Amino acid sequence: MTVMTSERPTTEAVRAIHDAIDPPEGYRVEIVEGNITVASTPFGQHAYILMLIREAVTPTLSADHRLFENTTLEEPEIDRYIPDLAAWPIDLIKTSTQWAFPGDRCVLAVEVTSPNQEQRDYAKAAGYARSQVPVYLVVDRASRLCVVFTEPEGGTYRTRHEVPFGKPLTVPLETPVTLETSEF
């Protein structure tokens, strides 16, 4: 669901509305391209793919970073995303007073597409780039592709690399990780 108005509300107004929404269990609320979106939680295959990525990436992260789910990334303009997986500094996440985190502290964002939601996940690339997230990975189940965005500059990623499911994918983190995508 997208909430639309006749005038473009301010960043503060959109974020205030976002803050006030209490979604039903099994739903999450994000701001994508300035629009408030509500989506149901994904199917099991989605979680399975995330498990495979987590198992491959976690051992390569520095001691002060971990992968987290259900964290809110706030990009510098208006959007707020809940990446399926995001690598954050542990000290940033260990808080009982903050729920939205500055995107420039995220080192990896991962989105696994859900049916009919692919466009939303690709649209997030601009906000992740504005936040200077060095690596954004989209696992596009409809197209059966993994897309890695790197080198954020000026609100866009300079590099986009596509790998079809079944081929190995190198995720260019500080310590590069090769993912086997045959089970995606």
- CATH number assigned to the domain comprising residue 76: 3.90.1570.10
Give me the DSSP letters along 88-146. Answer: EEHHHH--SS--EEEGGG-SEEEEE--TT-HHHHHHHHHHHHHTT-SEEEEEETTTTEE
Residue 113 falls within a domain, yes or no?
A: yes
Q: Coil, strand, or helix at residue 48?
A: helix
For the CA atoms of 181, 139, 161, 134, the dihedral, rounded to the nearest 10 degrees, stands at -110
> Encoding tokens for residue 139?
């696992």
Q: What's the structural domain count of the chain? A: 1
pTM metric for this prediction: 0.81
Residue 46's SS3 state is helix
Residues in the chain: 184
Q: Name the strand (E) or helix (H) holding 45.
A: helix 44-57
Q: Is residue 136 part of a domain?
A: yes
Q: Give the domain range for residue 117.
A: 42-179
Per-residue pLDDT of the chain (184 residues; tens, 9 = 90+): 555 556 777 888 888 887 888 877 777 787 877 878 777 666 788 899 999 999 999 999 999 999 999 899 999 998 999 999 999 999 999 998 988 999 999 999 999 998 888 999 999 999 999 999 999 999 999 999 999 999 999 999 999 999 999 999 999 999 999 999 999 9
1 lies in some domain: no
